[in-house]
Amino acid sequence: MQTKIKNKNRNINYAEAINEALLQSMKLDKKVVVMGLGVDDPKRIFGTTNNLFEVFGKDRVFDMPTSENAITGFAIGMSLGKFKPVLCHQRVEFALLTMDQIINQAAKWFYMNNGQMNVPIVIRLIIGRGWGQGPQHSQSLENLFAGIPGLKVVSPSSAYDAKGMLISSIADKDPVIFFEHRWLHSTYSQVPNKFYKIPIGKSKIAKKGKDVTIVSSSYMTIESMKASEILKNYYIDAEVVDLRTLRPLDVNPIIKSVNKTKKLLVVDNGWTQYGISSEVITKVTTHKNFDKNIIVSRVGIADTPIPSTRSLAKLCYPDCVDICMQISKILNKNFSGLSSRFKNYRASDTPNKYFTGPF
Amino acid sequence: MQTKIKNKNRNINYAEAINEALLQSMKLDKKVVVMGLGVDDPKRIFGTTNNLFEVFGKDRVFDMPTSENAITGFAIGMSLGKFKPVLCHQRVEFALLTMDQIINQAAKWFYMNNGQMNVPIVIRLIIGRGWGQGPQHSQSLENLFAGIPGLKVVSPSSAYDAKGMLISSIADKDPVIFFEHRWLHSTYSQVPNKFYKIPIGKSKIAKKGKDVTIVSSSYMTIESMKASEILKNYYIDAEVVDLRTLRPLDVNPIIKSVNKTKKLLVVDNGWTQYGISSEVITKVTTHKNFDKNIIVSRVGIADTPIPSTRSLAKLCYPDCVDICMQISKILNKNFSGLSSRFKNYRASDTPNKYFTGPF
Amino acid sequence: MNKKTKFNLLYSMIRMRMVEERISSEYSNQQMRCPVHLSVGQEAISSGICLNLKDKDQVFSAHRSHFHYLAKGGNLKQMISELFGKETGCAGGKGGSMHLIDIKAGLIAAVPIVGSTIPIGVGLAWANKLNRSNKVVVIFFGEGATEEGVFYESINFAALHNLPILFVCENNYYSVYSNIKNRQPTNRKISNVSKSMGVESYRMNGNKVEEIFTKTQKMIHSIRKNNKPILIELSTYRVLEHCGPNNDDHLNYRNKKELKRWLNNCPIEKYKEHLLKQKVLSNEELKKVYQKIDKEISQSFDFAKKSKFPKKDKLFKYIYAD
Amino acid sequence: MNKKTKFNLLYSMIRMRMVEERISSEYSNQQMRCPVHLSVGQEAISSGICLNLKDKDQVFSAHRSHFHYLAKGGNLKQMISELFGKETGCAGGKGGSMHLIDIKAGLIAAVPIVGSTIPIGVGLAWANKLNRSNKVVVIFFGEGATEEGVFYESINFAALHNLPILFVCENNYYSVYSNIKNRQPTNRKISNVSKSMGVESYRMNGNKVEEIFTKTQKMIHSIRKNNKPILIELSTYRVLEHCGPNNDDHLNYRNKKELKRWLNNCPIEKYKEHLLKQKVLSNEELKKVYQKIDKEISQSFDFAKKSKFPKKDKLFKYIYAD
Ligand SMILES: Cc1ncc(C[n+]2csc(CCOP(=O)(O)OP(=O)(O)O)c2C)c(N)n1
Ligand SMILES: Cc1ncc(C[n+]2csc(CCOP(=O)(O)OP(=O)(O)O)c2C)c(N)n1
Ligand SMILES: [Mg+2]
Ligand SMILES: [Mg+2]
C-alpha cells in the first residue's frame, strides 16, 4: 500500500523517465533492442540508458561505429527481422548524415511495398542548447522530419509524457522520430512507476485559460508555462497547448482553444521561418470554421546559425519574458515593469544552476 | 541588327536557358566550374550541360564518383580555393545523402568563421515527376532547405527566370540551392541572348488581376497560369505571384496583392503540410497590416509517398482544374461545367505529349 | 555437377533474357510507364548464385533488379503487373520496376537510391544472426555503389559482427554512361578493399555461370556455417542502355573493341553450345524450353494487361501501419 | 637533424601541453563556457608534422583542434579569447573551441561533426592543384572518423585525382568512451585500407616526435613534388577525458595496464630527457622555456578576459556574404 502511494507521487526527471520507458519496454518485449554511439558507456546518453546493458546484456544493447548513415539502415534491417530497434543520436545534427535512410527508406518502406513489411523503429534525437555548443550542436530541426509522410514525429515536454510517449513510440508499428531537448532531461514531474502509454497524435491542454492561447512543444512549453505564471500578475489567464506530437498534428484542441480566446501565439522550438509554427498557424487560419476575429502570431528561434558565445546565443532563444512581450502586443496591453520585474526568469546558457558544462 | 531582333524574340526552353547561363557564366568567370554525375555524358543532364565539356575541357567540367556526401564537401573546399562550383544532382533525393555538408557546413561556414571565408557554391537539384518514377524519384523537398539560415533557395518557373537566376546564383557569394523541375525543362519562353541577372529574393507578378491572389512557384506556376486562363471563362481575374525565391521569401508583393484581392490561394509545389505554403500563409496572416477580411487557403501535393502507378500518382498533384475548384470554394462561386469543360487541361504522367519515358 | 543443375542454370538464364527481351519489345507501347533498368548480359551472376540459396535465404537488390527477383523465385506475373502499374503487381503498382519485392520468395527489397539497400541487408543479417535463424542474406549491387560511403560503413559492421552475408558486386564497368576509370583509381580492385577491411573477398568472371555456381556454393555453405561475410566482385557487362528498353551504343560512350569483346562473351550463348555439345540437352529440348518460357511470359503479360489499376482508395493506404 | 629543430620540436610540445593545462585549470571558473576536447598526450603528432609545413600550406582539423591550431602557428590570444566567447576570438566568439580558425596561419577550419572536414580538405587540395599553387593540405582526424562513409568517398577521390594531401589519422584507440575493438574489426589496419584504395599509406608511432618529423618531411616533399596523397596512421593516447577539463579514469573505461603503459610513454618527458642528455639544451634553458611560455599564456588569458563580448549587432552579421 505504502509503495503504491509512494509510486503515485514520485517525482523523477525526464532522463530517468526515458530510462524507465526503455527498461520497461525491453522487459515486456524481447524484441526491443537499443543501439547507438555510447548507449553502454559510462555516461549512458545523459543517464537515459542506465542499467540497460547490465540487465539485458550485449545481445540487446549495442554500441556502434561512427557510421550514422548505415546505422539507420541497420535498424531498418533489424526491424525487417522482427526486432524493434530504438536508436539514439546524441545531437540532432548527426542525423543529417542519415537523411536518405530516414526519408527515402524508412518513411516510405511500408507504402512502397504496399503494406507487406512495416518498419517499427524509434530514432531518438537530442536537441542541444547552451554552454557555447555553437552552430553544429544546437539545432532543433523538427521541421525537417515533420514534413515527411510516413514518419511520426513526437516531442514531449515533461517527464510524464516522455515516458508514456516513448513507450507508445516503441510499441508503434511505424518509424517514429523522438525528439528530446537536452534541457528537459533535468526537469522533474510526477511519473507513475507503471507501464503506461500516452498516445501519439494527441496534444494536451497543459494549462487551461481564457484570454490567449499559447501553443508550443518541447522545451518551449516550459517557457510558455512560466509565461502563463507571469501573465497572472497582469490578470491574463493564458491557455497553454502542448503539441506533444508534431506529425500527425492534432489541430482540433487548438481550434477549440482559439475559438474561445481569439488570440493565438505559437512559440516555436526551432527557427522562426518555415517551422512548426508556420504549419500550426496555417492549419488554424485555413480551417473551415476560422473566425476572422482571431489574431495569430508567433515567436521562435532567431533565424541565424546559433553562435557559441553566450552573449549572442542567449539572444537567439525566446524565453518566458519574450513570450509575455509578444502577448502584450497581440492583446494591445502594456505589462508594466515586465522585463525588470521578471529578469530572474530570463534564460541563460545553462538549463539550471547545477549545470557546469561541458555538455 | 537582324541578329539583335532575332535574339530579342527568340524562344528557347528552360533546359537551354540553364545551359546558356552556365556557358555564359563560365566564359565570364574562369573560376566557375561544373561538377556532378553525368555532367559530361551523352545526355548532359537533360541537355543542360551541353557543350560545356567541349568548350571548357576537363579542368572545368567534372564527372564524379557516386559519392554525394563528399561531393558537396569537395565543392565547399573548391570554393575556399576561390573556385565557384556549380554542382548538380539529377534528383532531389540524392541530396539527402549530403545534408550534413549542406546544412551543417555550407550554410554555416561564413557565419561560424565570423565572415572570413564565404562559400559561393550552387547546388542544382532536379525535381522528378511522372512516368512511374515513384516514391524515391519524385520528391520536391524545398522545405528541407528553405528553413535553413545561411542558405538561399531559388526555384524559377520560366526559361527566362531560370537563365537570369542561375547567373545570379553563380555570381552570388553564398550557397544557393537551385531547384529545377523536370517538367519545366521542356517549357519555352522568350530569353535574351545576353548575359543578364534576375535578383535572388524578388518574387514576380506573373499575371496581374484583382479578384484572387494565387501564389506559387516552380512547376505549379505553370498550372496556376493555366488556372488563371480558365478562370477568365468565369469572369474571374486572378493575380498570379510567382515566388521565384523561397529563401529569402519576398512577402511584400504578396501582401500588396492580397490587400487588393482579399483572397489568397497558395499552390504548393511540395507536400501540403509543413511546406512553402505554410510559411507564405503565416507571413501573410501574422503581418502587422493584415486585414482580417482576407481569406487564406492552400492546395499542395497529397501527403503521401508518391506511388509509381499513374492511376494513383496523378491523384497526388493539384492541377489547374483543382486550383480553380479551390478558388470556387474561397470565392463561394460555382464554376459550372468546370471539370468536364476543361478535362483536356488535366495533368497526366508526362510533361507533354512528346515525352515517351523513361525519365 | 549433375545434368539437372546444368540444365537449370541454362534455363534460368534463358528465361531472364527472354523476359527482358519482351519488356524491351513491348515498352514502346507505353503501357509500362516506369523507368526500367534491364540486365541483359548479366544473367550468369544471379542465376549462378541464387540456385545455391534456400527459400528462407534473403536477397536485396537495387535499381537493376529484374534478374535478382527472377533468380530468387519471384513471381513473374506480379513482376510484369508491377511494371504495368497494376493492382496485381508485387507492390500493388506503388513501386514500379525499381521497387520489386517478393517476400515469400525471399526477394526482400530493391530500391533505386544507389547503395541504400546495403546497410538494410546488413541489418537483416544481424537480426538473423541474433535470431539464430541460419539464413544467408545476399546483397547485390553495382561497382558504382562501392563509391557510396555507406558501402564501407556496412562492410565494416559486417566484418566487426561476423554477419552471414554474401556481398555481390556486379562490376559492369559503367555507372550510367560513366566508365569506372573516371570514378575509381585504375589498378585497384574492389575486392582488395573489402578484404583489407576484414571481409573475405574474391574476384570472379561474371559471365561463367558454372564457375559462379560452384564457387559460391562453397561460399554460401561457409557463410552459413561460420557466420562470416564474404564479398565477391564479378566482372560482367550490360548489353542494353542504362535505363530504358533500347540499345544506346550509337552514343559511343563505350569503346568499340571493348563492346565487341563483351558481346562475344555472352554468358548464355557459350553455355548453351557447351551443354548441347555435352549432350545435357538436345536441340529439340532446347526448342521446347524456348516455347515453354515464351508461353509463360505471354501469360504473364496477358495477366498484367488484363489486371486493373489500383483505385483511388489505395492512394492513402499503407502510409502508416498503425 | 640540427639542434634548432630538436629544440623547436620540444618547445612546440611543451607549449601545447602548458596551454591545455592552463585551460584545464581555469575551466572550472566557468568563463570558458564551451565544450573543449583537450589533446594532452598527443603533442608529438602535430608538432612533428607541422614543423615541416610552409606558411602557405593548409591544415584542417576536427573537434580536438587546439594542437593543430597551435602547431600551424595559430594566434594564441585569439584562440583563448574564442574559448572565452569574446569578440577578439579567432571566430569572433561565434565558434568556440570546436571551430578554431586562423586563415593567415593556414588553419583553415575545424568542425565538430566527425569526418566532415575531410571532403572539404580534399576539395581545397583539388583547387590548389588546379591553381598550380603547390600547396600541401594536411587533414587531421581521429580513428573514429574512419568509420564515417565520407572518409572513404574522400580517399577514393584523392587517389583518383592525385591530390596533394597528407591524411593524418591520430589513432588514440577511443571514440569518446568506446574502444576501437567495439567499432572496427581487430587486426585490421586503417593504413592498409587506405593503401588498398590507392593511397600510399604508413603506420607510425605517434609519440615519437623526431621520427614523425623526419618521416613526414620526406612525405610532404613527395606530396608537393608528385601531387599524390599519402595517409599516415599514428598510434597515440589521449590523457584527459574526451570532452571537458578533467581526468576521467575513475570511470574505468580504459584498461589499467594499457593506461599505465601509455602514461609512461609521454611524448614530452622522454624527449626532454633525451635532449637534456644530448645537451641540446640545459636544465636552465629549459626552465626559461617554461617561464617564457607561461608568460605568453598568462598574457593570452589576460587578453581574453579583458576582451569584450560581441554585442547584439553581431548576431545577424555574416549569415550571408551577399
Ligand atoms: C544516390 C544515387 N546517386 C545517383 C543515382 C543515379 N543512378 C541511378 S543508377 C546509377 C548507376 C549506378 O551504377 P552501378 O552501381 O554500377 O549499377 P549499374 O547501373 O551499373 O547496374 C546511378 C548513378 C542514384 N539512383 N542514386
Ligand atoms: C557525426 C558525428 N557523430 C558523433 C559525434 C560525437 N562525437 C564527438 S567526438 C567523437 C569521437 C570521435 O573519435 P575520434 O575520431 O577517434 O577522435 P578523438 O575524439 O579520439 O580525437 C564523437 C563520436 C559527432 N561529433 N559527430
Ligand atoms: Mg555498374
Ligand atoms: Mg580516437
Ligand 1: does its nearest atom lie under 6 Å from the Cβ of C171? no
- C-beta atoms of C178 and B356 within 8 A: no
Closest approach atom of ligand 1 to CA C142: 15
Note whether residue A351 is domain-resident: no
Counting residues of chain C whose pLDDT is more than 90, the rounded percentage is: 99
pLDDT confidence bin for A279, thresholds 50/70/90:
very high
Per-residue pLDDT tens listing for chain B (359 residues):
333 445 557 999 999 999 999 999 999 999 999 999 999 999 999 999 999 999 999 999 999 999 999 999 999 999 999 999 999 999 999 999 999 999 999 999 999 999 999 999 999 999 999 999 999 999 999 999 999 999 999 999 999 999 999 999 999 999 999 999 999 999 999 999 999 999 999 999 999 999 999 999 999 999 999 999 999 999 999 999 999 999 999 999 999 999 999 999 999 999 999 999 999 999 999 999 899 999 999 999 999 999 999 999 999 999 999 999 999 999 999 999 999 999 999 988 999 988 888 88
**How far apart are the C-alpha atoms of C35 and B91, rounded to whole Å?**
14
Query: What are the pLDDT digits (tens) for C97-122?
Result: 999 999 999 999 999 999 999 999 99
Q: Nearest bound ligand to CA D140?
A: 2
* pLDDT tens-digit readout, C211-269: 999 999 999 999 999 999 999 999 999 999 999 999 999 999 999 999 999 999 999 99
Q: What is the mean pLDDT of residues C28-53?
A: 98
Asked, for residue D318, whether it belongs to a domain, the answer is no
Residue A97: exposure state from Cβ atoms within 10 A (0-12, 13-18, ≥19): buried
Model pLDDT, residue A1 = 35
Q: Which of C64, B74, B201 is nearest to D128 (CA)?
A: B74
Listed residues A191, A213, A235: the one ending a domain: A191
Which of the listed residues A159, A191, A223 is the one where a domain comes to its end? A191
Q: Are residues A122 and A266 in the same domain?
A: no
Which helix (H) or strand (E) segment holds residue B56: the answer is helix B52-56
CB pair distance less than 8 Å for D149 and B83: no
Range of the domain at A145: 11-191
Cβ of residue A272 closer than 8 Å to a chain B Cβ: no
Structural domain contains residue C83: yes
Do the chains contact at B67 and D94, CB–CB below 8 Å? no
pLDDT of residue B5: 47
- The CA-atom distances, in angstroms, between A18 and each of A43, A189, C100 are 15, 12, 39
The distance in angstroms from the start CA to the end CA of chain B is 40
Bridge partners of D110, per DSSP, are: D61
Domain boundary among B142, B160, B191: B191
Q: What is the dihedral of CA D119, D122, D128, D132, to 10 degrees?
A: -140
In a domain, D204, yes or no: yes
| B55 and B169 share one domain | yes
In a domain, C80, yes or no: yes
C322: in domain: no
For the segment A237-251, the average pLDDT, to the nearest whole number, is: 98
Say whether pLDDT at A69 is over 50: yes
Taking the CA of residue C113 as reference, the ligand 1 atom at the shortest distance is: 26
Compute the distance between CA of residue C268 and CA of residue C13 in angstroms, rounded to an integer: 7
Q: Which residues of B touch C36 (CB under 8 A)?
A: 358
pLDDT, tens digit (0-9, with 9 covering 90-100), for C63-102: 999 999 999 999 999 999 999 999 999 999 999 999 999 9
**pLDDT single digits (tens) A10-42:** 999 999 999 999 999 999 999 999 999 999 999
Q: Is the CB of C145 under 6 A from ligand 1?
A: yes
3-state secondary structure of D261: helix
Question: Which of B45, B74, B311 best tests the C interface by mutation, with the highest count of C CBs <10 A?
Answer: B311
β-pair partners for B293: none
C161 contact residues in D (CB cutoff 8 A): none
* Whether residue A76 is found in the same domain as residue A216: no
Question: How many Å apart are CA A325 and CA A69, to the nearest integer?
Answer: 42
Q: How many domains does chain A have?
A: 2
Q: Clarify whether residues A184 and A52 are in a common domain.
A: yes
**Does the annotation count A137 as an active-site position?**
yes
Residues A296 and A185 in one domain: no
Could you tell me if C116 lies within 8 Å of chain D, comparing CB atoms? Answer: no
Mean pLDDT, all residues of chain C? 98
Q: Look at residue B3 in the predicted model and tell me its pLDDT.
A: 38
Q: Which residues of A touch D245 (CB under 8 A)?
A: 358
Residue C196 covered by a domain: yes
Q: Based on the residue annotation, tell me whether A68 is a catalytic residue of this protein.
A: yes
pLDDT at residue A274 in the model? 98
Task: Give D170-195 pLDDT, tens digit per residue.
Answer: 999 999 999 999 999 998 999 999 99
- The C-alpha torsion from B20 through B25 and B26 to B30, rounded to 10°, is 170
Distance B130 CA to ligand 3 centre (A): 25
Q: Report the Cα–Cα distance between both ends of chain A, in Å, rounded.
A: 40
Say whether both A51 and A168 belong to one domain. yes
Average pLDDT over chain D reads 98
Question: Which residues, in sequence order, are CB contacts of A216 under 8 Å at separation 6+?
Answer: A157, A223, A224, A240, A241, A242, A243, A266, A267, A268, A269
**pLDDT for B8:** 59
What pTM was estimated for this model as a whole? 0.98
Q: Are D319 and A305 a contacting pair at CB < 8 A? A: yes
For chain A, give the percent of residues with pLDDT over 90: 94
Supply φ then ψ for residue A41, to 5 degrees: -90, 175
A100 in contact with chain B, both atoms CB, cutoff 8 A? yes
CB of B202 within 8 Å of a chain A CB? The answer is no
- Calculate how close chain C gets to B356, using CA atoms only, in Å: 7
Query: Is B83 an interface residue toward D (CB < 8 Å)?
Result: yes
C172 CB within 6 A, ligand 1: yes
Mutation test residue for ligand 2: of D99, D114, D236, the one with most atoms within 8 Å of CB: D114
Q: ipTM of this predicted complex?
A: 0.98
Is A144 in contact with B146 (Cβ distance < 8 A)?
no
**How many C×D Cβ pairs under 8 Å?**
57
CATH assignment of the domain containing D273: 3.40.50.970
CA distance A215 to A127: 19
Residue D63 CA, closest ligand 2 atom number: 9
Q: How many folded domains does chain C comprise?
A: 1
State residue B356's pLDDT score: 86
> Taking 70 as the threshold, does the pLDDT of residue D228 lie above it?
yes
Q: Is the dihedral of CA D26, D27, D33, D38 positive or negative?
A: positive
Q: Is residue A4 part of a domain?
A: no
Rounded CA-CA distance D235/D202 in Å is 11
Chain centre to alpha carbon of residue C194 = 21
Whether residue A354 lies inside any domain: the answer is no
CATH code of the domain in which B300 resides: 3.40.50.920
pLDDT of the residue at B289:
86
Considering only CB atoms, which chain D residues are within 8 Å of C160? 183-185
Is residue B181 located within the same domain as residue B216? no
A174 touches chain B (CB under 8 A): no
pLDDT digits (tens, 9 = 90+) for C130-189: 999 999 999 999 999 999 999 999 999 999 999 999 999 999 999 999 999 999 999 899
C-beta of C112 in contact with ligand 1 (< 6 A): yes
Q: Is the pLDDT of residue D19 over 80?
A: yes
Residue D150 touches chain B, beta carbons under 8 Å: yes
Distance from CA of C162 to the nearest CA of D (A): 9
Print the domain residue range for D84: 3-238+245-306
Q: Which stretches within C134-282 are classed as H helix? A: 149-160, 190-196, 209-226, 256-263, 267-277
Residue C320 lies in a domain: no
Residues B220 and B110 in one domain: no
Pair (B91, B142) in one structural domain: yes
- Does A315 map to a domain? yes
Asked whether residue B22 falls in the same domain as residue B165, the answer is: yes
Q: Are residues B278 and B341 in the same domain?
A: yes
Please say whether the beta carbons of C60 and C108 come within 8 A. yes
- Ligand 2 centroid to Cα of residue D174, in Å, is 9
SS3 state of residue B310: helix
CATH code of the domain in which A127 resides:
3.40.50.970
